[in-house]
Amino acid sequence: MGVVNLKNPPSLRLSAEVPVLAETVGATNNESEPARLREVLDVAACLFHEKGYRSTSLTDIANALGMNKASIYYYVRSKEDLVRQLILRASQRLRDVSRNPTIDILAPDHALELLIREHCAVLLDCPNEIGLLIQQRKFVEPTVLLEISERERTYVSHVRGVIARGITQGLFRPSDVSVATALILDTVNGLLRWYRPNGELTRSEVIDATWKFVQGGLTPNVHKRRQREK
Based on the fold, state whether residues 110 and 201 are members of the same structural domain. Answer: yes
Would you say residue 157 lies in a domain? yes
Lowest-confidence pick of 69-73, 93-97, 113-117: 93-97
DSSP-derived 3-state class of residue 4 = coil
| Domain, as residue range, for 178 | 83-229
Q: How many domains does the chain have?
A: 2
pLDDT, one tens digit per residue, over 26-73 is: 334 455 568 888 899 999 999 988 888 888 999 999 999 999 888 889
Based on the fold, state whether residues 119 and 218 are members of the same structural domain. Answer: yes
Of 91, 85, 27, the residue nearest 61 (C-alpha): 85
Would you say residue 13 lies in a domain? no
> How far out from the chain centre does Cα 16 lie?
23
Q: Which pLDDT does position 30 carry in this prediction? A: 53
- The letter for the amino acid at 184 is I
pLDDT, one tens digit per residue, over 4-24 is: 333 333 333 344 444 433 233
Write the DSSP symbol of residue 169. Answer: T
